[in-house]
Amino acid sequence: MSAMNIQAAVCYEHGAPLVVEELSLADPAPHEVRVRLKAVAICHSDISSLRGEWAGGRTPTVAGHEASGVVESVGPSVDSVAAGDHVVVTLVRSCGECDACKAGHSVCCDGKTALDSSSRLTSSAGVEVEQGLRTAAFAEACVVHESQLVRIPDDVPFVSAALLGCGVITGFCSVTNIAKVNRGAKVVVIGIGGLGLNAIQGAVLSGAAKVIAVDVLDSKLAAAREFGATDTINARATDVVEAVQKLCGNGADYVFVSAGRSQAFTQSIGMLNKYGSSVILGMPPDADKDFVVDSHALTTGRNILGSKMGDTCIREDIPRLVSLYQEGKLKLDEIVSKTYLLGDINEALEDAERGESLRNVIVFD
């Protein structure tokens, strides 16, 4: 093994266009794996980070955390994957030893790996380039901790498989793992993008009797219907809370908020019945992270549940979702709005930021 030169999209200044240039990618260290990437989807979290909407973001950095590819080489002590394996690459990494991991909540892992404090990427000037979310998948290849990978069958298309790295597991597993939606439930999903569509799919496959999609774009609402929504509400055209209450009678059992806006969080409480739960998936910018809730709404039985990536166990949940996809029960191909080459990544980001696409994906040769 040896360090290799790759093309990557580097953020040197928050809010500025990314620069596609050559970086050096080091060999994988112990418990690390180098993956030749085939596809990486653009998550709204990437956009928020690149625009500097969250505190703590450093530059230069390479973003991207929802990817798929082929294992190229493995570092010492790696036995979970081997060269040639097809894998999904995620930002979720787990040590297996901390309290969160032992309790079955690996997405909340408190353990540390070498990639928490160092990067395998270096610029031509010798400057270390941060691996965004310890992944850095807006590049031809990446080095990640072995716990961030899940093997997939060779016949699963890379473009569709990439979606399983974040958006699909967060939306779907928020329904099945966090809320545990029951058959016959009345469900509302606010925000019909990558997260929202998969929350809809999770609700449909859980047997929900009513699945109401809320968005401000008719095109997104049309997509929601195709993914199984029974009803749709355009939030620009009507009072959303009143419309949900009318459709549900005494209110919804569950509201999943994938829109990253505090106003949507507050509105969701008013859509619930007295024992319903609002599940928060979306991540607003720091400037809009606080929201107001009438405490009496909670003391009379309603619940607010947080969801960090649907409390996903990637080694169990991703294979389960792959099986559903192969059986024709889970839509993945239909989520992809458009594919782009790495050189067109700024166009892909701008398109995604307008909110009209479901998921844009960068593909590699």
Q: How many CB atoms are located within 10 Å of the residue 203 CB?
A: 32
Instruction: Please give the distance of CA 306 from its chain centroid, rounded to a whole number.
Output: 15
pLDDT of residue 292: 84
Are the C-beta atoms of 333 and 157 separated by less than 8 Å? yes
pLDDT of residue 205: 98
Strands 186-190 and 210-215 come out as parallel
Strands 32-41 and 67-74 come out as antiparallel
Residue 287 DSSP label: G
- Per-10-residue mean pLDDT, the chain, length 365: 89 96 97 98 92 86 97 96 98 94 94 92 95 96 98 98 97 98 98 95 98 96 98 95 94 95 90 96 84 86 95 97 98 97 97 91 94
* Exposed / middle / buried, residue 163 (Cβ in 10 Å: 0-12, 13-18, 19+): buried
Nearest to 145 by CA among 193, 108, 113: 113
pTM (2 decimals)? 0.95
Domains of the chain: 4-165+332-363 (3.90.180.10), 170-308 (3.40.50.720)
Strands 272-280 and 252-257 come out as parallel
